[in-house]
Amino acid sequence: MDHVDPARDAIAAFRDLPDDRPVMMINLVRFRPQALYPAAHPMIGKTMTGAEAYTVYRRAAAAPFARAGGEQIWAGTPELTVIGPRDEAWDIAFIARYPTGAAFLEMLRDPEYREAVVHRQAGVSNSRLIRCGEVGA
């Protein structure tokens, strides 16, 4: 099963966690070979790779990410899964830090972010988003 958007129950569980402390979000992303936009979207019919659509998403989401106090603290290209399923190959991995869980949820509700996320949905074939708290926090 592929995962692109957060499930409703996962967001509900996220809301149940403390929302007043910093959170790190581990992101693992696999791109589609070709971006897949919804029929009514202006990008429909344009040839674009999933990686290119994800780049459009990152640029379009930059302002809402910054308004939420988000910062990318690490990014890399996965090379080998040493422990775990070998079929879960990822194109990019990164960690984003938010000042609070509430700030992350606020970003998801931001109208500009909601417009940007269609590019993520078009470009991503599978992903993981893992919320982490700081050790000792």
Q: Flag whether pLDDT at 54 surpasses 90.
A: yes
Pseudo-torsion of CA 66, 116, 92, 10, nearest 10°?
90
Query: Are the C-beta atoms of residues 68 and 98 closer than 8 Å to each other?
Result: yes
The mean pLDDT of the chain is: 94
pLDDT for res 46 = 79
Q: What is the spatial distance between Cα 113 and Cα 108, in angstroms, rounded to a whole number?
A: 6
pLDDT (average), residues 13-26: 95
Residue 137's pLDDT band (cuts 50, 70, 90): low
Q: What is the spatial distance between Cα 96 and Cα 25, in angstroms, rounded to a whole number?
A: 5
Query: How many other C-beta atoms can be found within 10 angstroms of the C-beta atom of residue 104?
Result: 22
Q: Which residue has the higher pLDDT, 62 or 135?
A: 62
Residue 47's pLDDT band (cuts 50, 70, 90): confident
Q: Flag whether pLDDT at 101 surpasses 70.
A: yes
pLDDT (average), residues 71-79: 97
pLDDT (average), residues 84-96: 94
Tell me the residue type at 69. G
pLDDT (average), residues 47-56: 96
Q: Flag whether pLDDT at 59 surpasses 80.
A: yes
CATH topology of domain 8-133: Alpha-Beta Plaits (3.30.70)
Tell me the residue type at 95. I
pLDDT for res 122 = 96
pLDDT for res 38 = 87
pLDDT for res 42 = 76
